[in-house]
Structure 1
Amino acid sequence: MTSPESQSPEFKDRVYRSVPAIAGGVMLLAIAAWLGIDALVSGQGRTQWLTLAVMLFVVPLVVAFTLRPAVYAGDDLLRIRNPFRVIVLPWGQVAALKSAYSNEVLTESGAKYQMWAVPVSLRARKKAARREMRATAQARRTMGRDEGRGGALGMGSGLGQGLGGGGPESQGPARAGTDQIMDELRGLHEERHGAEAAQGEVTVRWAYEVVGPAVAGAVLVAILLAVG
């Protein structure tokens, strides 16, 4: 069955999620279900009620921080679904997309929103930098060999430049996965920022479907622990 979100035409183009976060969330939910069912079956009295309250508190939080985050990029709107909020930004209201220790959207009014579904990985950046260094070194070695052969054949350095032009350097610098996503979003922003259909107001909605159960579970846990 297709969800209403995937049927929305303005968000059908690109959807970005964190695969490691989803995998971790599924694993955590499986562990919680296993421990919770075991406690409900083998526990007695107050233990069963406390287990239900803890699961009511924990499960929404796990879903919020792992399965829920997503970024929907359409022709007119950028929709950011974070753990506890949903932010809808027309491209005309987006001032910049910045990447440092987190990926963020800055609006024309000065507001800043983090994109949980596109986390920054410093490790991935370092790996991409190492790949780029190796590719550059290999290209230089290849160009050196080709220039040497070209000189021996009396064809000069032009042969080496021609062969080197198709090397790794011509393919652009290596980039981490989330940095590539940010590049795509920046390109879409530059293309659609001035479009008439991409104007409007920024809207922010709290995810009460997540906050409500989590708060209710926390209150129940506090009451059960206080009653003893």
Structure 2
Amino acid sequence: MIKLFLFLLLNGFFLSLAVLGQKNYTPGYVVLISGDTLRGQVMDRRETFTGTELLDKIRFKPEGGGLRRKYRAKKLLAYRANDNIYERHQLRPKGISLLDAYYEIVPNGGEPVFLRVVSRGKVTYYQWEWVDPDDSTTDTADYFRKGNEPLLVRATQGIFGLKRKNLTEYFQDCPSLQEKIQQKVFKYPFEVANYYNQNCR
């Protein structure tokens, strides 16, 4: 009887894991480094019993069946999972801290990472995601990039809000935005990005 109970318990546990894994696939596509776009089902994270796990390889199931594949960041230019689009960039910090105020995009060097595109325009607003090892929650850092410039600037400083000094310096080409940042008219990165894209240059 005890053996049967343990068997059913373990069977239910593994079945639950399988169901969790299936639910984490979402409609989307991957863009290979060749530029080819493959449509199908994408998984970039999975929900576990302890929280969210960001995968080091993007899982992909092509439309109409076929072999499932796994792609490291260096093998893709971008991917989409549901409504979220991620671009792969190779980054190098311009300072010494992990979450630096500035990063350089270095096409032939640096660490390949995926950045979520929150909004795109004259300035693109990105979020860099990672899982906090202490509580398994997904944290983000906000960055801006003007056009095709190789520089990313950190937009926020955690719970302390916008990095106003850095952003005032970064947006020297838009005095009216500088003034609003300094006067604390804006509290969130999307407000800064929207204003720049609609009113600057």
> Where on the TM-score scale, by shorter chain, does this alignment land: which range?
under 0.3
Using the size of structure 1 for normalisation, the TM-score is 0.21
Looking at secondary structure, tell me which structure has more strand per residue: 2
Q: Which has the higher helix share?
A: 1
